A and B are shown apart, each in its own frame.
Chain A
Amino acid sequence: MTGIDLRRLSKRYGDDVAVDGLDRRIPPGRITALLGPSGCGKTTTLKLIGGLIPATEGTVDFDGQNMAGVTAERREAVMVFQDHLLFPYLTVGENVGFGLRMRGVGRRVRRGQVDTMLERVGLPGLADRRPQELSGGQRQRVALARALIIDPRVLLLDEPLTNLDPHLRDGMRELILEVQRDLQVTTVVVTHDQEEATVLADRVALLFDGRLAQVGTPRDLHDRPATASVARFLGSPNVLAGIRRGERVATPVGELTVPHGALTDGPVQVVIRPEAVVVAPSGGPNIVHGTVRAVRDLGARARLVVDVEAASITLDARPDALLALAVGSEVSLRLPAESLWAMPADHAAPDGGVGIDHEHAAAPARPSTDVPESPPPESPPIDRRSRTDIRRP
């Protein structure tokens, strides 16, 4: 099992900073997710670990050994690209056996291992097919088999589920979890999807603009976001600016009891996940009253946007409870104290308290780049031109 250390790892293309001083240990034998919006430098980081592009600054260490002088083909860190990238003029079997062939393994031995590996990923007997004859899901499995057959030190997966139809994702996800558990290979998964990161990874590193915004278990990020940007990226539009005095925080929707998170008196930001808000409560603390602005049917659940004073609260719940509510009707909400989380206030003035429109936040300079847990600047996860494309930077 190989532990990876990123030491002040940076990658710049001209003036474009793709990865900005990543300093982090990736634990051996586990799955770590690199999560972030597109263009945040996740795939670039993966390619840096795999040695496919040179770092501008900093190093990647495998088990304490500097990999700077070790070329991609000798790193034993195999990348599985988002689009499977099977070689079209080789058969499925030849694709899977490619790495063994490059290591001088004979044809007979190779064939045996290829058959075993294809069976392992649930595609027995397909060795003589052409990649063109396979479905998208099958191709992705072949790509995984091709990476695993050489028993790599590090497995690098770039958006392994993104290009699959929804009904194929569960199978692929289970397969990844299963083989990873069996082989105990140190795995780094890049994804822009929070759910994917949550189900696949033991630890999640959230990347904004090439910098670590927060590192922790999926549960940490979900329940205890470090900053408002993290909270918003992970699907909590309910970020309220407030002033803390003891247990109580004065917010635009009223005074709330917030026992968790940033406990110093003064300006804070309070977040609550949409699914934690209770509609029409029977009683208790932290009750606010508002007017229904919008009702949205999302299928498995429904979403309600409620104007409360100068701000608004978004909440998700079972559709039967919410769809009966008319736009403009009065409604009471409870913001359970155990679900409220206080974060240090951003340097920039927050936008009127509630951030559905988080596009306008300012981006002040970050004081330090090597302490990932410290709050990063307000950097909204807006889509940016991908910098990982070497062909058209």
Chain B
Amino acid sequence: MASSRQLMAEPTRVAAPASAGRHPGDAAGRAWLRRVVVALLLVTLLLPLLPLAVSSVGQGYFFPQVVPETIGLRALRLILAPGAETWPALIDTVVLAGTVTLVALVIALPAGRALGLYRFRGRHTVEFLLLAPVLVPPIAVAIGLHGALLRVGLTGSMAGVVLVHLVPVLPYVVLVLAGTFANLDPDYEAQARSLGAGPVAVFRTVTLPAIAPGLATAAFFGFLVSWGQYALTLVIGGGQVVTLPILLFASASGGDTAVTSALAIFTAAPALLLLAVNAWAVTGRAVPIGGVR
């Protein structure tokens, strides 16, 4: 019998569960191995934060010392004070990354659909051009774009920074969505139309549930890439748009190690939180969308 079609092609699973039933020992060993791999991943992700944490509470902490002489919360108090410039910077960074992600998704949805679903002449060229900004150093892009944005009066504004952030963000978002759309069977959308669903209803009832995990991943990538931008924000923002990375770099060149470390943790924390949420969402909820099996 011909196998049933699926709304989304099922991703291939890495672990083969076929033999698990026959060799219970193998299954247990594999589970153990998986735990080790996950632990190693967590360690490599989190270990670099440890020295940061130590130095953020250090006072009079200099090179040959392994641990600081005295421990104090001066740096944390400084950056978390109600009037500290970290708070407006945090808001700016969130608003900026959020706006950039939204704009990128709006552009990337049709682009990713075209790249994922259709075969057309020049598709590979388009893919390469999309990736090009990732291959070029951001500072080169920033300086090149600065002249252009200066002419249209967008330097030193949030709008200008949003525009320039799209340059590194769009490639990730478009390519993730292209991969998602490549697994979508467009006949399901045709079926919905045939049953009386207009374009909006088709997107809401068929397309969106099907691409939701990919959309979440794309948004996550877009948000993080924008979150971590420094050179582009600095050059185009011209000091008017102050994000957390701008504060961090300014502090790093200032020489107060404790404050810089505390700021680094403050900058990384939301990203790590988002990573955890996304990992849970993608692995936990993707299953029911995988279609009929």
Contacts and interface: CB of A to CB of B under 8 A. Distances in A.
Contact of A102 (B117, B197, B293): B197
Contacts of A146: 195
B196 A99 contact: yes
Contact of A150 (B7, B190, B195, B205): B195
B194 A83 contact: no
Given A85-B187, A163-B2, A393 B195 contact: no
Contact of B7 (A88, A99, A391): A88
Given A73-B197, A136-B4, A79 B288 contact: no
A78 B186 contact: no
B221 interface: no
A390 interface: yes
A52 B190 contact: yes
A147 interface: yes
Contacts of A103: 196
Interface string A89-119: 1000000001100110000000000000000
Contacts of B185: 85
A77 interface: yes
B188 A87 contact: yes
B30 interface: no
Given A89-B209, A136-B4, A165-B1, A391 B190 contact: no
Contact of A81 (B1, B187, B206, B290): B187
Interface string A35-61: 000000000000100101000000000
Given A132-B292, A163-B2, A73 B198 contact: yes
Interface in B126-146: none
A146 to B, nearest CB: 7
B289 A391 contact: no
Contact of B192 (A47, A98, A132, A150): A98
A72 B7 contact: no
Interface size class of A (residues with CB under 8 A): 35 or more
Interface in B238-292: 288-292
Q: Kindly name the residue among A79, A391, A393 whose own CB sees the greatest number of chain B CB atoms within 10 A.
A: A391
Interface in A142-176: 146-147, 150, 156, 162-163, 165
A102 B4 CA distance: 26
A131 interface: yes
Contact of B1 (A73, A132, A163): A163
A85 B291 CA distance: 10
A192 interface: no
A392 interface: yes
A52 B1 contact: no
A50 B293 CA distance: 29
Contacts of B194: 50, 52, 72-73, 77-79, 156
A151 to B, nearest CB: 11
Interface in A54-78: 71-74, 77-78
Interface in B105-137: 117-119
B290 to A, nearest CB: 8
A81 B191 contact: yes
Contacts of A139: 4, 292
Contact of B188 (A71, A85, A390): A85
Nearest to B4: A83
Given A52-B193, A102-B197, 10 more contacts: A71-B198, A72-B193, A73-B198, A88-B288, A89-B289, A98-B195, A98-B197, A103-B196, A131-B292, A390-B186
9 nearest A-B pairs in the assembled complex, by CB-CB distance: A102-B196, A83-B5, A99-B195, A72-B193, A79-B194, A85-B191, A88-B291, A52-B190, A132-B292
